[in-house]
Amino acid sequence: MKQKFAVQLYTLRNECEKDFPGVLRQLRQMGWAGVELAGLYSYSAEEISEVLQETGLQTAGMHVSFQRLSSELESVLKEAQLFKTTTLICPSVPHELRNEEGYRQFRNQLNDIAREIRQDGYTLSFHNHAFEFETNVDGRNALEYLLEPSADNAILAEIDVYWVKKAGKNPAAFICPYSYRMPTMHVKDMTNDEHRTYAEIGTGVIDFDPILIWGEQNGVAWYIVEQDVCQGNPMDCVNTSLKNLHRIAERLVEIV
């Protein structure tokens, strides 16, 4: 399982702005197996690709805005090829589409893109927040509508367990319908106080044992740490998360 832990680089956005190659080298030294990209921070795709190859870090996927997926798909696929990943993830729903009719349009358009790239071996997933639970479409919350596990829906899941918990759901139960439809999963913890904000893995209230056990049994290729806001130094925060994930993995090794 340890070879499946990656960090979403949005967590380290300020550090990447200053020295993206240096961040990647530090992450590899920490023991991370991969990274999930979220922009290039003024660096070229070629330069970052070279550093990834130098360090041996794998690309766990690419977060690509709906706007880029819709208007720059050819460029996106060229980047994915450089970074040796076939996993694309739309990170959010545009604000103007966060209503019942908007979600219908969004699902249709994402499906069109997913089907187009599928013929070349690429997949397209959707990453959630908590706001999707606030709108109902066809008797379901919008997230379940977007990720419906049916043969005619080509959108795969990248469930963020923190946001599921934030919406008042049980993450371990919520992920169950997406067996072999979730190549990547976002893991982050939640503080045990009234703020219920972001925390390093293993320091908060989310029980990751059943989540990781399910992931190992249901086709998850990468567990990706994203901590939107870090109270301390972000590099220290992701290091804490990785150490605690390694401890959990060692404890679960006989189960999975």
pLDDT in tens, 39-89: 999 999 999 999 999 999 999 999 999 999 999 999 999 999 999 999 999
What residue spans of the chain are helical by DSSP H? 13-30, 45-55, 66-71, 73-82, 100-118, 142-146, 161-166, 171-174, 208-217, 234-252
Helix (H) or strand (E) holding 185: strand 184-187
Computed over every residue of the chain, the mean pLDDT equals 98
Q: Check if the beta carbon of residue 220 is closer than 8 Å to that of residue 161.
A: no
CA–CA separation, 83 and 60 (whole Å): 9
pLDDT tier at 248 (50, 70, 90 boundaries)? very high
**Pairing state between β 184-187 and 136-137:** unpaired
Residue 186 pLDDT exceeds 90: yes
pLDDT score of 196: 97
pLDDT score of 254: 82
CA end-to-end span of the chain: 9
CA distances to 21, 98, 115, 175, 249 from 110, rounded to whole Å, are: 32, 15, 9, 21, 34
CA–CA separation, 199 and 241 (whole Å): 9
> Domain 2-252 sits in which CATH superfamily?
Divalent-metal-dependent TIM barrel enzymes (3.20.20.150)
User: pTM of the prediction?
Assistant: 0.97
Q: Per-residue pLDDT tens for 107-143?
A: 999 999 999 999 999 999 999 999 999 999 999 999 9
